[in-house]
């Protein structure tokens, strides 16, 4: 599923125009990203939690030469699935 399909399903379920549903879905994602940019935490019940974590500096390897490369520390987004998703019989 992608954003467009999600917006189409929202439009169908709530009897909205596709443009309105797309605007709503886009706004939700922009709010999630904005919260993470500010260092916040986003918890979606029965789906999971998005948090910003600090990745440590480390030494990597250039795959073509094998030369050691220093990789600086950086922030990244971590997702933790909810219990409901973890327990799905996939």
Under a CB-based contact definition with an 8 Å cutoff, are residues 55 and 73 in contact? Answer: yes
Quote the pLDDT of residue 81: 97
Classify residue 58 by burial, with Cβ atoms within 10 Å: 0-12, 13-18, 19+.
Answer: exposed
Residues 32 and 52 in one domain: no
- The parent domain of residue 28 ranges over 1-38
Which pTM does this prediction carry?
0.81
> Helices then strands (H, E): number in the chain?
3, 5
- Residue with more model confidence, 42 or 90: 42
Q: Would you state the structure tokens that stand for residue 34, as one six-digit string?
A: 């904005």
Tell me the pLDDT tens digit for each residue of 29-69.
999 999 999 999 999 999 999 999 999 999 999 999 999 99
Mean pLDDT of 83-89: 95
Mean pLDDT of the chain: 96
Shared domain for 46 and 89, answered yes or no, is yes
Domain shared by 33 and 50, yes or no = no
pLDDT at position 3? 94
Report the phi/psi class of residue 12: left, alpha or beta, with left for phi > 0 and alpha for psi in -120 to 50. alpha
What is the pLDDT, as a whole number, of residue 77? 97
Please give the pLDDT value at position 90: 86
> Looking at the structure, do residues 17 and 49 belong to the same domain, yes or no?
no
Indicate whether 14 and 51 sit together in one domain: no
């Amino acid at each position: 599923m992608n954003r467009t399909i999600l917006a189409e399903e929202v439009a169908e379920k709530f009897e909205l125009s596709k443009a309105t549903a797309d605007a709503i879905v886009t706004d939700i994602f922009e709010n999630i990203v904005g919260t993470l940019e500010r260092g916040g935490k986003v918890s979606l019940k029965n789906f999971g939690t998005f948090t910003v974590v600090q990745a440590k500096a480390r030494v990597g390897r250039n795959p073509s030469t094998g030369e050691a490369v220093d990789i600086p520390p950086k922030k990244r987004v971590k997702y933790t699935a909810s219990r409901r998703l973890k327990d799905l019989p996939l």
